[in-house]
A and B are shown apart, each in its own frame.
Chain A
């Protein structure tokens, strides 16, 4: 069973985004991956995410966006969780600003093939209003981890 908690690390958690727009949010999350030493070239990763957004917004509604993409720039799957209490216009399907963002990136060749199952697991987790509310209210990374672990357990 896929568990989101396995991929989320403290240095890939942004409790409150400074960015106020979509591109700024993508950039801030990519910067977190670069700072964590997971990619050398943040620019390549950002470009992949921007191209994916041109295909259609990854703002899936209910205040959630799951920007995602496959890129050679990264060697293993990574998930960044970022929050924005004020919300960001992500051109979401329901037109509402997003407050929870789960950026998911993976290499094109991935032996364990977890990319789609992880995306599916994130979408399933945030369908729950209770999970969304708790993730937004969490006061630190440990609480966020606990909420995601509980969501994994109850899947």
Chain B
């Protein structure tokens, strides 16, 4: 897997964590279970460092999709984009290439990740 898509997945996971930590209801629920969620600042620093490792053009796409959909990177499960639930063509399952290290859904434009083993 190309490192750029791995960075984008890490960025999406990190943004999910930051968003959940800032969600008062979610935070209260986790704290009531005994979990501590004190230090959001290191996550923001980690995000900044991660963004620097991603090609600027992908960062722009990621930020634009985040504004539009809330979640920019979505998994493909059972050959279906879990962003728009449309089928992903079989050709998309071939290896990524240097010219196309990041694939986007032909229907919704979200960045696709293929988690299946």
Contacts and interface: CB of A to CB of B under 8 A. Distances in A.
The contact size tier of chain B is 35 or more
Interface residues of A, number: 34
Contacts of B12: 72, 108
A73 B17 contact: no
Contacts of A60: 33-35
Given A72-B12, A109-B74, A119-B33, A51 B115 contact: no
B33 A120 contact: yes
Contact of A40 (B38, B71, B116): B116
A116 interface: yes
A52 B17 contact: yes
A44 B10 contact: yes
17 contacts: A39-B117, A40-B114, A41-B1, A52-B17, A54-B42, A55-B39, A55-B40, A70-B16, A71-B13, A72-B12, A72-B13, A72-B115, A108-B12, A108-B13, A108-B16, A120-B29, A123-B33
